[in-house]
């Protein structure tokens, strides 16, 4: 997702953009490795399903990105640590060359975990040496690619967490990734409806910082009057849907969603297991524990979110309704830096939408498509975004696995409607006459 032409603003002290991005490079790369601090060697190599990748692959691929788009292009005579890494760690850039089969990344036992970290150090040493040698004028010609690489790595930080959770959640021992303190017995805040007046509003990135190309161009959209729920849907509310035979009533489901429910035999969100007493346990990255009714429901697909909305007599928001409602909301939810990796419930009554950021990605009813006037950039980086604008739905707001300085109001995440392994949840909307 190549960035727009806007640049990070300089701090009040005249720190150069090069110095700013060099410092950020070190911070982002270090945080990736911090996320792995509780992993054992065996944990790095697991690929629990084709959509997931081993932690080791994420560590290598994010390094490959800087090697491919910075080092190989800008350092004469640069030599890769291994000639096959270009084949192993390319993700989907067809214009770069052929690549290893994605569903078989878990079969790559070599390079070892130690050799993968050696590769990261090799890339870091060369990138830091390049930072030190390149002039400010030369740096300004490629700084947007450096910044893109950092946000690309932050995307993979989130994917690494979700992929580790899928691997651990598939293990009957239910390993603990982080020890997460938790208090039961608190009640979620009442769900209120907040009205929004009709109007023609502007949407999309407005400049003044980094953005992926799919966040623009900024354009106008008409919104009919609508209501937005004051908070996310909770586990307790979703259990009521289950108990009302929500997974057994085809009239609630889109046709493809109902087919998926039958084929996959879904009866509850991912990582939930029904107990003999009718209650549910769920796997969290803090281990297995009873489902807390006050917490936001998480790990539901678009199909499930849409079916729940129909059952509740409501609908999902469009991405533009969500963006308009979020413009005045503080970015104050739970993010990756909290190191808890599980959403927190909303306990206080709010007259404005709460939980707009962090906690869980919020499904919208908007299909992922280009904004008016959108054109993907030329070259390999143009493959980042535009070619995926088909058969996907937009999610907004970030999650407990999203770095806080990676999210913004205009950020458009996207996944297929049956995807559940991401930290995805539900916020309702409704029409107002």
**Strand 199-203 with 219-223, pairing:** antiparallel
Least confident of 15-29, 84-98, 268-282, 308-322: 84-98
Query: Which 3-state string (H, E, C) describes the chain?
Result: CCECCCCCCCCCCCCCHHHHHHHHHHHHHHHHHHHCCCCCHHHHHCCCCCCCCCHHHHHHHHHHHHHHHHHHHHCCCCCCCCCCHHHHHCCCCCCCCCCCCHHHHHHCCCCCHHHHHHHHHHHHHHHHHHHHHCCHHHHHCCHHHHHHHHHHHHHHHHHHHHHHHHHHHCCCCCCCCCCCCCCCCCCCCCCCEEEECCEEEEECCCCCCCCEHHHCCCEEEEECCEEEECCCCEHHHHHHHHHCCHHHCHHHCCHHHHHHHHHHCCCCCCCEEECCCCCEEEEECCEEEECCCCCECCCCCHHHHHHHHHHCCCEECCHHHHHHHHCCCCCCCCCHHHCCCCCCCCCCCCCCCCCCCCCCEEEEEEECCCCCCCCCCCCHHHHHCHHHCCCCEEEECCCCCCCHHHCCCCCCEEECCCCCCCCEECCEEEECC
- Mean pLDDT to the nearest integer, 133-145: 93
- Mean pLDDT to the nearest integer, 80-86: 94
**Strand 193-196 with 199-203, pairing:** unpaired
- Mean pLDDT to the nearest integer, 126-145: 94
Residue 8 has pLDDT above 50, yes or no: no
CATH match of 17-169 with 2.60.120.680: no
Every domain of the chain and the residues it spans: 17-169, 193-431
Residue 380 has pLDDT above 90, yes or no: no
| pLDDT, tens digit, 9 for 90 and up, residues 270-288 | 999 999 888 999 999 999 9
Radius of gyration (C-alpha) of the chain in whole angstroms:
22
- Which band of pLDDT confidence, cut at 50, 70 and 90, is reported for residue 3? very low
- Mean pLDDT to the nearest integer, 200-229: 95
- Mean pLDDT to the nearest integer, 148-152: 96
Q: At what angle do helices 17-35 and 113-133 cross, to 10 degrees?
A: 170
- What pLDDT is recorded for position 348? 78
More confident residue, 96 or 367: 367
pTM score, whole prediction: 0.94
Q: Of 252, 307, 295, give the one whose Cα is nearest residue 271.
A: 295
Residue 329 has pLDDT above 60, yes or no: yes
Residue 349 has pLDDT above 70, yes or no: yes
Question: What is the chain's mean pLDDT, rounded?
Answer: 93
- What pLDDT is recorded for position 14? 58
CB-based contacts of 245, cutoff 8 Å, min separation 6: none
The CATH class for the domain spanning 193-431 reads alpha beta
CB-based contacts of 294, cutoff 8 Å, min separation 6: 186, 187, 188, 234, 235, 236, 345, 347
- Mean pLDDT to the nearest integer, 14-31: 93
């Amino acid at each position: 997702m190549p960035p727009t032409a806007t640049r990070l603003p300089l701090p009040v002290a005249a720190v150069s953009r090069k110095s700013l991005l060099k410092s950020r490079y070190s911070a982002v790369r270090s945080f990736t490795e911090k996320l792995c601090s509780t992993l054992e060697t065996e944990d790095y190599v697991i690929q629990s399903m084709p959509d997931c990748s081993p932690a080791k692959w994420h560590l290598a691929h994010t390094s490959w990105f800087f090697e491919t788009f910075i080092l190989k292009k800008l350092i004469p005579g640069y030599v890769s640590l291994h000639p096959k890494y270009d084949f192993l760690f390319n993700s989907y850039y067809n214009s770069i060359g052929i690549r290893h089969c994605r569903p078989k990344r878990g079969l790559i036992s070599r390079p070892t975990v130690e050799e993968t970290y050696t590769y990261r150090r090799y890339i870091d040493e060369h990138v830091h040496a390049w930072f030190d040698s390149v002039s400010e004028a030369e740096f300004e010609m490629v700084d947007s690619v450096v910044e893109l690489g950092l946000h690309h790595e932050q995307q993979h930080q989130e994917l690494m967490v979700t992929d580790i959770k899928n691997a651990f959640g598939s293990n009957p021992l239910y390993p603990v990734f982080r020890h997460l303190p938790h208090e039961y017995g608190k009640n979620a805040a009442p769900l209120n409806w907040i009205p929004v007046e009709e109007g023609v509003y502007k949407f999309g990135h407005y400049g003044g910082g980094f953005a992926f190309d799919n966040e623009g161009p900024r354009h106008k959209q008409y919104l009919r009057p609508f209501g937005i729920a004051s908070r996310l849907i909770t586990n307790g509310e979703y259990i009521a849907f289950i108990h009302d035979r929500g997974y057994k009533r085809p009239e609630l489901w889109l046709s493809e969603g109902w087919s998926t429910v039958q084929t996959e035999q879904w009866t509850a969100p991912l990582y939930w297991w029904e107990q003999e007493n009718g209650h549910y346990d769920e796997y969290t990255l803090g281990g297995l524990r009873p489902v807390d009714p006050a917490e936001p429901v998480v790990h539901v697909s678009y199909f499930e979110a849409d079916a729940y909305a129909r059952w509740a007599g409501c609908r999902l928001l469009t991405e533009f309704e969500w963006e308009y409602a979020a413009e005045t909301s503080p970015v104050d939810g739970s993010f990756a830096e909290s190191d808890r990796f599980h959403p927190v419930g909303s306990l206080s009554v709010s007259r404005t939408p709460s939980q707009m950021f962090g906690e869980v990605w919020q499904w919208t009813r908007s299909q992922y498509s280009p904004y008016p006037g959108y054109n993907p950039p030329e070259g390999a980086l143009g493959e980042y975004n535009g070619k995926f604008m088909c058969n996907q739905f937009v999610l907004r707001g970030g999650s407990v696995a999203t770095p806080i300085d990676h999210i913004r109001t205009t950020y458009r995440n996207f996944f297929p409607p049956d995807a559940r392994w991401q930290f995805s949840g539900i916020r309702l909307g409704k029409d107002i006459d």
